[in-house]
Amino acid sequence: MKILLRAGESRWLAPAAVLGAVVLTLLLTAGPIRLAGANPVAAYQRYTINPLTTPGGIGDVLLAATPLLFTGLAVAVAFRVGYFNIGAEGQFLAGAIAATIPGLYLPGLPAVLALPLAAASGALGGLIWGFLPAFLKRRAHIDEVVTTLLLNPVALLLVQGLLNGPWRNSETGFPDSDRYGAGYTLPTLAEGSRVHWGFVIGLALVVVVFVVMSFTPLGLRLRAAGQSPGAARFSGIRVTTLQFRSALVSGALAGLGGAVQVLGVQHQLTASISNGYGYTGVVVATLGALTAGGVLLVSLLLGDIAVGAQNASIALQLPTQMGAIVSSTLLLAVVALLAARRYRVVLRRPFVRRRSTAERKDA
Amino acid sequence: MDFPLLAVLAATLTIATPLVWAALGALINERAGILNLGIEGTMYAGAFVGFLTAVTTGNPYLGLGTAVVAGLAAGALMGLLTVTLGVNQHVAGIGTTLLLVAACDFTNRLLFATGTQQAAASFERWFPGLGVLAQYPMTFVAFLVLAPVLWWVLRSTGFGLRLHAVGENPEAADAAGIPVARTRYAALMLGSALMAVGGSFLTLSLLGSFTLDIVSGRGWICIALVIFGRWKVWPVVAGALLFGFTDALQLQLAITPMFSGVPNELLIAFPYLVVIAALAVWGRKVRYPGAYLTPYRRA
Amino acid sequence: MGPLAELRGITKTFGAVVANDSIDLRVLPGEVLALLGENGAGKSTLTRILYGLSQADSGSILVDGTEIRMHGPADAMAAGIGMVTQEFSLVDTMTVTENLMLAGSGLGRVNRSAAKTKVLEAAARIGVAIEPDAVVGTLSVGERQRVEIVKALFHDCRLLILDEPTAVLVPQDVAVLFESIRRLTADGMGVIFISHKLHEVVEIADRVSILRRGRIVADVPAEGLVPAQIAAMMVGSADRVTEPEAGSAADTVEAEALATAVGLEVPGAGVEQPVAQVSRSGVLDIDRITLAGTGKPLLDEVSLTVHAGEIVGVAGVSGNGQTELVSVLCGMTPASSGAVRVDGADITRLDVTKRLRAGLGRLTEDRRGSVVLNLSVEQNLVLEDLDRFRTGPFTSRRRIKEHVAGLMERFDIRAKPGDPIRSLSGGNMQKVLLARAIAREPKALVASQPTRGLDVGACEYVYSQLRALRERGAGVLVISEDLDELLGLCDRIVVMVSGRIVGEVLAAGTSREELGLLMTGMTAGAGAHS
């Protein structure tokens, strides 16, 4: 099982497959767009180009891309070593909850203390939420896919429970938490923009992951362990340990993403804080070929589409869910066509090879 | 405190019903070697499509039928991705779930933009006066028809043997002349149809209407139940009943004054935690199907 | 009585290699035909053709005098031909009956009790007891083999091909198998029996056909044959290195190359010297290593010492514990008991990294499983020594580049450092592995099938590197199925049979025949030598 979208035997085939997938996605989504009474070409223009034509629009794209950077990186880091963490959603929520604790109970802290504390708390929250599946996987070989998935609804219920219970808004009585102390606001990057420093933190983490993966012994070991666990073990790499640690790092990254989202955007905990960012992280990581640079690019693309979808829902009466349809169709089209490309090659190759190795014994 | 045992038992059966349908669907998939994480989306699609048809036609049976068709289509999509193309099953499944959920929400928004809750024609409970037996038709079908028939099919028919063989050792199945890809497609489509029926139970029987996030992780529960039940029909049904019981219990506790201080959501989370705990206790050393997650290519 | 099956002029080539060279073969009803030959003589190719798994370039197959066109095993089964190979195709989690019902049952209801009766009948026919409701995974290897034979009988098979059926069996199971074969042939069935164990051949066969280099070189009644005669026929009466058979250009080239590669460089004096100094402690000391298996142990108290400046060979028919021995030495499988020492240090419980640090070098038969196929040549070359190229937390690209450039030049690796290693030829990949292992200057090198699948030039290169390592004072353990290779390369050769070392000889003082006899498990009179 190979999840990596690596360049194949011939260099043009993979880009061609991706291009084909984009075209296929456009064709497939044109139907529902028409059904909704909109012009597909106008819709695609809104989804992709329009948000980038104004500074405000670009700001919105960066803002929308920010949580995806974190969850995308989280998923990529885990998938890279063959640990299928599909619980970034729950870890993101756990991070948001954990960041809320100091925000509500230590409201007076100055920003220099408050922000690092809340961020660290969020990362720790995500790590804790990711710990149980990682531990069960390592100790009892329990499939991490199921346990990470199951903890997602639990995290959402925990958020809702807290908001309906102890953290119910003391002024309005709505199921939102109170606003955090003043020190807990991640500053925006520029006056009048909503883009906050969380995006910069995400960028920095992209760079860190890139550097670790590309320039350290650890990075090479992680790649070896994910691509070929047997051979990695043969070369003395401790695959299970690496998977366990990556699982924790993955949880911490997603948790930090949740913290950044509450500190930078909402300034309070709300039930709709995640908006499926954790699941979208799987899309981001996969389309980004599990690389840091790829995660950055795909986050921006999906951020663009998300902003465009908001935009189109107002201008074209096209429900915002169209954005999710486009991104999930794109995911399936890309993996399908990349597999199809491999398939065509693989179809002949192993046949000949299997036969000849089996018979070479005798030849 | 007098504990309303019969009410809890009745609720247990009702709550377990969609899980029995969907988990047995997942069981069929996994017996054939495919982990179908599209289950959550397939249940969602079954719930929505069934509801939509019932609203339009006023006939819940037609709703059930279209839910089945939606399930078959979802299964065929998973088949194309995982069987024909050999895409990573985790990614294919999550992608399918995301796509189906987005497509249903999109359509829902398009058709019912005003946000008024539509009530659909839905199934009535049979034997309304008979306590525990006052259940929806699909509950009776699940426990009295689906589970025993599936048990028999897996055990005593050529189809059951073929499923087992392609999921366990596709090379041996191929050597015995069994069409591996076709069998896996059949498993995926049949299993996904059951998942969709499970989803449609939520709209066509339980609620009579559709709300966003109506499945809320029940699909993932089913995946866990299949592992918990070690790919066997009756243990999976027992797992569904266990979940149903804990869920019914929390519903009961929620209206019990003693627990009025505990946030409802924490009680709702309880059955999920029970399933994880059950996995942690009984899920170790499980033997997965031999060809789990593995596409098959003839050498 | 006409032949049950007949092969006429079967020829099959792979590239320049002629695997089967116009082979004629007949099997009579009620006859056990033993098909013999060394590894690579063409037996498997021939049986695969007969079972439809592979198509001949030319020639024909006749069953009951009618020519059959084979497109796949289904045609063979329809013609009444069955085959049982060493790799069983059974579903472990199903019962015996279920496995047998798989083929030929439709989608509908299966008649379990009828199938059960059929199983019992078939079992009775071959004279064994089979529990129809037993789950296959719980059965012993011998029992599974019986299930495979019963499966063949389910298809009304009249010619049964048994490919090395005894290689995996314990002696008691062999006796049962032979009894079954006798019952079947008494019924008029024909059996093609492939084995390396010559005493078994003498016991069961009615006729013996011997393949050498793709041709039938003998087809004689088994009556009165003794193993030594058969062994002589199998390897040829004279050493093939000095007397290549005429007619095949490829043979001649290969033989000459082998002569230069292994024959001419053997230093006569250097051979016996290391063995003489037995008192010196070994650089690789294998001390009563045992590896438990299901049933009989896979390795049974294997003890072996490789001294500094010595190459020791392990000979044996494949599947006699060599793979397991390599796996235990390389740190991939923990031994059940016993100890392994490298240069006096106990490495039995150490992980791979610590073993490498202790001075162990590894070259396994599974080359593609020893490298990470998606990484580059450069990355694979340094994968086991990453900490040596570290500056602070970072890898030093410069030092890696220098190191890799040096290795690639020294080991003549014909690729660019950035090339994905999967694109390399077998020979080049082996050079990478050799470079990775030897660059660390190991005190002891374990090399399994070091030249399998390589061309002549690459073979020669591997030999020269292993010799150079020996000259530098390291000990080398070579595990190989190629007797010429072992004879040309090693100072001493031990022979493994059924997970045990059954004999030890000096390479200079032995012959292919003697090794061959040892490998067939006939220890009498041969092993006492050292």
- Residue ranges covered by each domain of chain C: 5-235, 251-366+442-529
Mean of the pLDDT values across residues C26-55?
87
pLDDT tens-place string over residues A264-282: 999 999 999 988 999 999 9
The pLDDT score that the predictor gives to residue A363 is 34
Three-state SS at C505: strand
Tokens 């519903």 belong to which residue? B251
Q: Which range marks the domain in which residue A258 is found?
A: 57-320
CA proximity to B248, closest of B9, B58, B84, B82? B9
The answer to whether residue A198 sits within a structural domain is: yes
Residues with Cβ within 8 Å of residue B36, at least 6 apart in sequence:
B26, B29, B30, B42, B75, B78, B89, B93, B188, B191, B192, B195
Q: Which element (helix H / strand E) includes C212? A: strand C207-212
Q: Residue window 304-333, chain A: list those with CB within 8 Å of chain B.
A: 319-322, 324-325, 327-329, 331-332
- The answer to whether residue A249 is domain-embedded is yes
Query: By three-state DSSP, how is residue A78 classified?
Result: helix
Task: Write down the H helix ranges in chain B.
Answer: 5-31, 39-57, 60-78, 89-111, 137-140, 147-156, 158-168, 170-175, 180-201, 218-228, 233-254, 264-282
How confident is the prediction for chain B on average, in pLDDT? 91
Backbone φ and ψ for C157, nearest 5 degrees, come out as -80, 140
A281 occurs within a structural domain? yes
* Structural contact between residues A124 and A187, judged by C-beta atoms closer than 8 angstroms: no
pLDDT for C279: 41
Specify the higher pLDDT residue, B118 or C285: C285
pLDDT in tens, A27-63: 999 999 998 888 999 999 988 898 999 988 999 999 9
Residue B253: CATH number of its domain: 1.10.3470.10
Which residues 298-357 of A have a C-beta within 8 angstroms of C?
355-357
Question: What is the sign of the dihedral through the CA atoms of A312, A317, A320 and A325?
Answer: negative
- Give the Å distances, CA to CA, from C241 to C269, C291, C518: 21, 37, 21
How far apart are alpha carbons B184 and B190 in whole angstroms?
Answer: 10
Tens-digit pLDDT profile for residues C220-237: 998 888 887 887 787 765
* C502 in Cβ contact with C521 (< 8 Å): yes
User: Touching check for B94 and chain A: CB below 8 Å?
Assistant: yes
Only one residue has tokens 């240090």, namely C345
Identify the closest residue of chain B to C103 by CA–CA distance.
B176
CA dihedral C471, C472, C475, C476 (to 10 degrees): -70
* Interface size between B and C, measured as CB pairs under 8 A: 62
d(CA C21, CA C13) in angstroms, rounded, equals 8
Task: Identify whether B289 is part of a domain.
Answer: no
Assign C526 a pLDDT band (cuts: 50, 70, 90).
very low
Q: What is the mean pLDDT of chain C?
A: 84
d(CA A262, CA A121): 12
**Among the listed ranges C125-129, C291-295, C515-519, C526-530, which one has the minimum average pLDDT value?**
C526-530
A353 pLDDT higher than 60: no
Interface contact B287, partner A, CB < 8 A: no
**Confidence (pLDDT) at B2:** 63
Confidence of residue B117 (pLDDT cuts 50, 70, 90): low
Q: Is residue A40 part of a domain?
A: no
Strand partners, C68: C61
Buried b (16+ CB within 10 A) or exposed e, C181-202: beebbeeebbbbbbbbbbebbb
* A188 is a domain residue: yes
Tell me the shortest Cα–Cα distance from A6 to chain C, in angstroms: 9
Does residue B287 form part of some domain? no
The answer to whether B45 and B99 have CB atoms below 8 angstroms apart is no
* pLDDT tens readout for residues B278-294: 888 887 778 888 889 88
The residue of chain C with its CA nearest to that of B178 is C103
> Does domain C251-366+442-529 sit in CATH 3.40.50.300?
yes
Tokens of C258: 């082998």
If you search the block for the tokens 């390599």, which residue do you land on?
C326
Whether the per-residue pLDDT at A260 is higher than 70: the answer is yes
> Which of B41, C207, C150, B207 is closest to A325 using CA atoms?
B41
Rounded to 10 degrees, the C-alpha dihedral A285/A291/A295/A298 comes to -90
CATH number for the domain running over C5-235: 3.40.50.300
Q: Is C511 left (phi over 0), alpha (psi -120 to 50) or beta?
A: beta
What are the structure tokens assigned to B286, written together? Answer: 């499980």
DSSP per-residue string spanning A151-168: HHHHHHHHHHHHHHTTTS
Token readout for C15 is: 């590239």
Which of A125-139, B73-87, C36-50, C314-328 is least confident? C36-50
Which is more confidently placed, B3 or C41?
C41
The pLDDT of residue C294 is above 90: no
**Which position has the higher pLDDT, A274 or A203?**
A203
Structural domain count of chain A: 1
Closest CA to B54 of B226, B180, B195, B210: B210
B118 pLDDT exceeds 80? Answer: no
Assigned domain for B61 exists: yes
pLDDT, residue C360, reads: 95
- Report the pLDDT value the prediction gives residue A339, as an integer from 0 to 100: 87
Residue B294: inside a domain, yes or no?
no
Task: Give the number of domains in chain B.
Answer: 1
pLDDT band at C280 (very low <50, low <70, confident <90, very high): low
Nearest CA in chain A to B261: A165
Amino acid at C51: Y
Summarize pLDDT for B139-177 with one digit per residue, the tens.
Answer: 999 999 999 999 999 999 999 999 999 999 998 888 888
Distances (CA, A) of B98 to B38, B39, B40, B44, C229: 8, 11, 9, 10, 72
Can you tell me the ipTM of this complex?
0.92
Confidence of residue A104 (pLDDT cuts 50, 70, 90): very high
pLDDT band at B116 (very low <50, low <70, confident <90, very high): low
Expressed in angstroms, the distance from the first to the final Cα of chain C is 52
Q: Which two tokens stand for residue C179?
A: 């009894």
Torsion, Cα of C221, C225, C230, C236 (10° steps): -80
Query: Where in the sequence is the domain holding B169, given as residue range(s)?
Result: 5-114+137-282
| Rounded CA separation C526/C503 (Å) | 7
Cβ distance of B80 and A336 shorter than 8 Å = yes
Task: Closest CB to B227: pick one of A146, A154, A286.
Answer: A146
Chain C residue set in contact with A, beta carbons under 8 Å: 14, 17, 19, 39-45, 48, 54, 330-332, 351-353, 355-356, 364, 369-375, 379, 383-384, 386-387, 389-390, 393-395, 397, 453
User: What angle is formed at CA A291 by the lines to CA A286 and CA A293, rounded to 5 degrees?
Assistant: 115
